[in-house]
Structure formats: structure tokens, C-alpha cells
Amino acid sequence: MKTIAISIDEASLAAIDRMAQGARRGRGRKGGVNRSEVIRRAVREFIVRSRKREREDSDRQILAANREQVLLQAEALVGEQAEP
């Protein structure tokens, strides 16, 4: 694990500290959560959300580029299911 330095505003730091304290209370003193852990969790969540958003954007672009073909295929599938 690498150690880095970041600059953060006072309000965000206070919120991080409150989150860490709340997590410590929920887990007991043994499994304490510190600022670093709160920030690591937030970064992991940000990465997951960003990757998901990128995949969704890519999917939207693919669907937009192939809209006509997708509509034709959907109509064909619905037509096949509707046949007795």
C-alpha cells in the first residue's frame, strides 16, 4: 500500500472523521476504522461507479448507432412470440 498526501477542506475532513467514528462504534474498538479506511472505501466506490457509468455510456452509444437494427430485431422477436 502506498502512502500519499492530499489536501482536503475542513468540512470534508470533519465529515470523514464523523464517518470513521460512527464505523468504530458499529464495529467495536477492535475493528476500528480510521480516516484512511474511509477514504479508501470512498475511492473504491467512486471507481466502481465510474466504470459502471463508462459501460452504460458505451452501451448507449452502441444502441444509438444501431437503433434501426435493434428496432427491427425487436419487432421480429415480438412477431415470432405473437404467432400461435
Q: What is the pLDDT of residue 66?
A: 95
CA–CA separation, 44 vs 8, rounded Å? 18
Backbone angles phi, psi at 38, to 5 degrees: -60, -45
Q: What is the pLDDT of residue 39?
A: 95
Q: What is the pLDDT of residue 22?
A: 84
CA–CA separation, 46 vs 40, rounded Å? 10
Q: What is the pLDDT of residue 29?
A: 54
Q: Find the mean pLDDT for residues 3-25.
A: 91
Q: Which pTM was predicted?
A: 0.68
pLDDT tens-digit map of 20-78 = 998 766 655 555 689 999 999 999 999 999 999 999 999 999 999 999 999 999 999 99
